[in-house]
């Protein structure tokens, strides 16, 4: 199967997000991880976060999950569902 390739348009905001994410993924201050590793880590985190939120709903009241898990990417609608705020 051929590899899919794409070109990322790096706006100033996206470049800043990648730099901040790179710092999180880096092993130490001198490490400069490849952008593909940073993107892989971010996608994995997003998927795992959504799974963790869904699983936590069995053990914790909605207001607890909401206060801990709300981000600009995932939001917990009180007593209803997890939804993405991106790409509506």
More confident residue, 55 or 80: 55
* For residue 71, pLDDT beyond 70: yes
| Tens-digit pLDDT profile for residues 33-60 | 999 999 999 999 988 988 888 888 888 8
- pLDDT mean over 57-75: 79
In sequence order, what are the residues at sequence separation of 6 or more whose Cβ sits closer than 8 angstroms to the Cβ of residue 79? 62
* For residue 4, pLDDT beyond 70: yes
Quickly count: other Cβ atoms within 10 Å of residue 65's Cβ: 19
User: 4 by DSSP, 3-state: which?
Assistant: coil
| Tens-digit pLDDT profile for residues 15-31 | 999 999 999 999 998 99
* Separation CA 18–CA 4 (nearest Å): 21
């Amino acid at each position: 199967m051929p590899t899919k390739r794409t070109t990322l348009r790096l706006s100033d905001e996206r470049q800043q997000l990648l730099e901040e994410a790179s710092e999180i993924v880096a092993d130490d201050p001198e490490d400069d991880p490849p952008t593909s590793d940073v993107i892989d880590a971010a996608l994995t985190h997003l998927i795992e976060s959504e799974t963790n939120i869904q699983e936590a709903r069995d053990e914790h009241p909605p207001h607890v999950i909401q206060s801990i898990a709300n981000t600009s990417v995932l939001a917990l609608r009180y007593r209803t569902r997890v939804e993405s705020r991106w790409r509506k």
